[in-house]
């Protein structure tokens, strides 16, 4: 039997736990290529990637990160082969079902960004149930982007404002007002956005929210992007000079 998982090595570096990004966002890229390079079906890569997501989420919670947002399935991913889409949906259903069993113990709050009403009925019901349970908890929150696209999110928010304006509501369109209409309403903007897998683009992910995020790109494919790689990314972030358009004092 071929093991599709690789043992992760402990990073010898040290993090400043008093200077962690409050919110980390990750584009989980490279699952299919990871599997192909090993002569495995692409579904095996998605399974490895889903397992790694749990490892990374747990580590974020353990070290004190408050929010983790991951790109699980984009609005464009429906264009992939039907077999692959079905495998991804099956994995999402499997891991959400397992998450429901452990949420009471782990007390991890989960939210979903995207048009989840378009998901298969059982997966949609699981997502809603997960959100309902998580609403009782305070602390670490995982946001899972499913059937999500940044441009679509901005259009939805714009339509929402236009409808209220047409209805006669006196609303000043500010950044705060607009942000309140996004899927991420109430969640602080990500400070660190990580993309494993070798690509160097945002791919329609958190286009509004990532305006001032530090962007970290890695050639490591997502299933191999373990806790060591995560801590390297955070360490890099801690060395950044975040000026937000100003100058260093």
The domain that holds 115 is classified in CATH as: 3.40.1180.10
Residue 29 lies in a domain: yes
Q: What is the pTM of this model?
A: 0.89
The answer on pLDDT for 127 being more than 80 is: yes
- pLDDT at residue 247, as a whole number: 56
What whole-number distance in Å separates Cα of residue 5 and Cα of residue 202? Answer: 27
Which range has highest mean pLDDT (10-19, 49-58, 162-171, 194-203)?
A: 194-203
The answer on pLDDT for 60 being more than 90 is: yes
Mean residue pLDDT across the chain: 89
Mean pLDDT of 212-229: 97
Mean pLDDT of 73-78: 92
pLDDT band at residue 165 under the 50/70/90 scheme: confident
Residue 57 lies in a domain: yes
Count the neighbouring beta carbons within 10 Å of the beta carbon of residue 39. 8
The answer on pLDDT for 249 being more than 70 is: no
Residue 168 lies in a domain: no
The answer on pLDDT for 2 being more than 80 is: no
* Among the listed residues 136, 138, 124, 63, the one whose alpha carbon sits nearest the alpha carbon of residue 96: 124
Residue 138 lies in a domain: yes
Could you give the number of structural domains in the chain? Answer: 1
Residue 33 lies in a domain: yes
The answer on pLDDT for 10 being more than 90 is: no
Mean pLDDT of 46-57: 92
- Write out the catalytic residue numbers: 29, 77
Residue 220 lies in a domain: yes
Mean pLDDT of 39-44: 93
Domain residues for the domain of 106 are: 23-151+188-238
Mean pLDDT of 130-140: 87
- pLDDT at residue 5, as a whole number: 39
Residue 247 lies in a domain: no
Residue 17 lies in a domain: no
């Amino acid at each position: 039997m071929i093991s599709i998982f690789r043992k992760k090595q402990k990073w010898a570096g040290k993090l400043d736990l008093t200077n962690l990004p409050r919110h980390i966002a990750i584009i989980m890229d490279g699952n299919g290529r990871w599997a192909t390079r090993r002569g495995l079906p692409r579904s095996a890569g998605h399974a490895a990637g889903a397992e790694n997501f749990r490892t990374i989420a747990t580590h974020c919670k353990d070290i004190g990160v408050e929010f983790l947002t991951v790109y699980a399935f984009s609005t464009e991913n429906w264009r992939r082969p039907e077999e692959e889409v079905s495998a991804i949906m099956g994995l999402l259903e499997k891991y959400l079902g397992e998450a429901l069993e452990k949420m009471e113990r782990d007390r991890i709050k989960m939210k979903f960004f995207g048009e989840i009403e378009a998901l298969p009925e059982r997966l949609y019901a699981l997502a809603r149930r997960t959100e309902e349970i998580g609403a009782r908890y305070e602390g670490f929150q995982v946001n899972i982007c499913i059937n999500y696209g940044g441009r679509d999110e901005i259009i939805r928010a714009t339509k929402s404002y236009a409808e209220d304006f047409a209805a006669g509501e006196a609303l000043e369109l500010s950044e705060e007002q607009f942000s309140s209409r996004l899927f991420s309403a109430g969640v602080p903007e990500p400070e660190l956005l990580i993309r494993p897998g070798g690509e160097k683009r945002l791919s329609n992910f958190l286009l509004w929210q990532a305006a001032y995020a530090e962007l970290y790109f890695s050639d490591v494919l997502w299933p191999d992007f373990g806790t060591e790689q995560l801590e390297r990314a955070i360490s890099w972030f801690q060395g950044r000079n975040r000026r937000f358009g100003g100058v260093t004092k």
